[in-house]
Structure 1
Amino acid sequence: MWWSYQDVEEQKKQVQREIAKRKKRGEKFEVLPAPAGQKKLSTTFWGQSWCRNLESYQDYESRLPRGRSYLRQGKVYDLKIESGKLSAVVAGSELYDTSITIEPLPKKQWQKIVKSSAGQVGSMLDLLAGKLGDGLMRVLTDPDDGLFPKPKEIRFICSCPDHADMCKHVSAVLYGVGVLLDTKPELLFTLRGVDQAELLSNASNATITDLSNSTGDLAEADLSSIFGIDLSAEVPLEPSAEKPPVKKAARKKVAVKKPKKG
């Protein structure tokens, strides 16, 4: 079908009119800003890892470039990341509502990740900033057992007439996740239905367990160096404060009147 310049411009105006109507109905319609003119959409560990994982899906290969272009053109609105769900509105020849469901991370797979992270996550800031060791990074981004979803775990619905396995609107939303993770990496854990704090608590528990398994002087030395105290020294008990004696109330003497002799 031949499209003239006037047709394209009219479509854009129609889309803008529809956006204005939906804003009046209370919808936010916040555009997801994506870097224009840059080769990489994402700049952080989490955002780039998401995009690399997405591009490893051979089934989606032919649809991904159009979606990336849509995102760069500012056509993705109101992207929301919730537990097991993505939703957004994408502007094409019309406005299309897109919904993507992603299965939660299997518990066994998550526990394996948690176990592998023992002692490797320094703080929540380090975790969200992607300041992790190479070994843990490989675990998190493993295509089979890592944190990112596999194609068979993803289902999507779009209101557009494109009946392909993945339309360009869905692709734009999936790429948008990578952009959003640059500023809100914690949403990846929300999406997969896991608690990132477990990566930290496991590290602490592992340290405590190792120390408790140690015996004798070694355990004392370890704990002393960690807490800065000498466990071998006797700590004198503080003397208990003596309570002042309780004064007894003085008994009043009652004069007994003797009976008068008759």
Structure 2
Amino acid sequence: MSWDYEDAQERKERLQREIEKRKKRGEKFQALEAPAGQKKLCTTFWGQAWCRNLEAYQVYESRLPRGRSYLRQGKVYNLEIEPGNLSAVVAGSELYDTSVTIKPLPKEQWMQIVESSAGQVGSMLDLLAGKLGDGLMKVLTAPDEGLFPKPKEIRFNCSCPDHADMCKHVAAVLYGVGVLLDTKPELLFTLRGVDQAELLSNASNAAITELSADSGELTGADLSAIFGIDLATEIPIEEPALVKAKPAKKAAKKKMK
């Protein structure tokens, strides 16, 4: 029995023609660039934590490797991350529209994370760069109570003919999220429907509360450190220039008749 396999180069050219056709209709097509020739797909705390979370679930393990390969080959286009939703176009035998729906993080769960992070986030830059203490990292990545979604919170949809719950196109999109989080970690908070600024705000409030509890007031505290200014340096105050009064006009002498 003979099998008619389409040449890989022909398929690639056909897909490229389809992409160009859709571009002419006004659709954008931007491939997600994944690092090639590197063992690690992601390099930052947030990207790696996302991928580790995916790989921790046995229900996904049979499909993930193929999706990872698709991503490395540049087959994921137009990956968008919005509150509760991922969408992309993945090139397989055809161009497939793929989407992933993720439930928002429960409010109670988020508030527990915020409370547990009190005083542990130095700045927004530290948070997004993943410069966090071990304790906070464990809170954020906890399998049950952390920031990352669990399988029961994820639903997939793909236009491909594969009827598996997670096809390789969906797997490629999920891995693509990790790559995108390497450069835009704030999108994880967008996806889960929470505001990362609350972690920083809670840290600031905790510091102020602790200061008040220790001293009862700000007396004796290093106000320069608190407010970020050098109070020891005298700031010269320019006195307002004196306005010279105009001399009064001399009264005109009356002419004597």
Give the TM-score of the pair, scaled to structure 1.
Answer: 0.82
Equivalenced residues, count: 228
Structure 2 equivalent of residue 42 of structure 1 = 42
Aligned partner letter, 1:109: Q
- Deviations 1:221-259 (Å, cap 9, x if unpaired)? 2365745779xxxxxxxxxxxxxxxxxxxxxxxxxxxxx
- Deviations 1:12-34 (Å, cap 9, x if unpaired)? 22211110110001111000000
- Aligned positions of 1:83-162 closer than 5 A: 83-162=83-162
Distance 1:10 1:48, change over 3 A: same
- Deviations 1:62-81 (Å, cap 9, x if unpaired)? 00000000000000000000
CA distance in 2, matches of 1:130, 1:3: 50
Percent identity, please: 78
CA distance in 2, matches of 1:175, 1:108: 28
Secondary structure in 1 matching 2:122:
coil
CA shift for structure 1 position 3: 5.0
- Structure 2 gaps of 5+ residues are 233-257
CA shift for structure 1 position 11: 2.0
- Deviations 1:171-207 (Å, cap 9, x if unpaired)? 0000000000000000000000000000000011112
- Structure 1 gaps of 5+ residues are 231-262
Structure 1 equivalent of residue 254 of structure 2 = none
CA shift for structure 1 position 38: 1.1
Secondary structure in 2 matching 1:29:
coil
Distance 1:2 1:144, change over 3 A: farther
Secondary structure in 2 matching 1:41:
coil
CA shift for structure 1 position 219: 4.8
CA shift for structure 1 position 37: 1.5
Structure 2 equivalent of residue 193 of structure 1 = 193
CA distance in 2, matches of 1:21, 1:221: 70
Aligned partner letter, 2:202: N
Give the TM-score of the pair, scaled to structure 2.
Answer: 0.84
CA shift for structure 1 position 9: 2.7
Secondary structure in 1 matching 2:51:
helix
Distance 1:68 1:3, change over 3 A: farther
Structure 1 equivalent of residue 55 of structure 2 = 55
Distance 1:24 1:184, change over 3 A: same
Larger Rg: 1
Structure 2 equivalent of residue 167 of structure 1 = 167
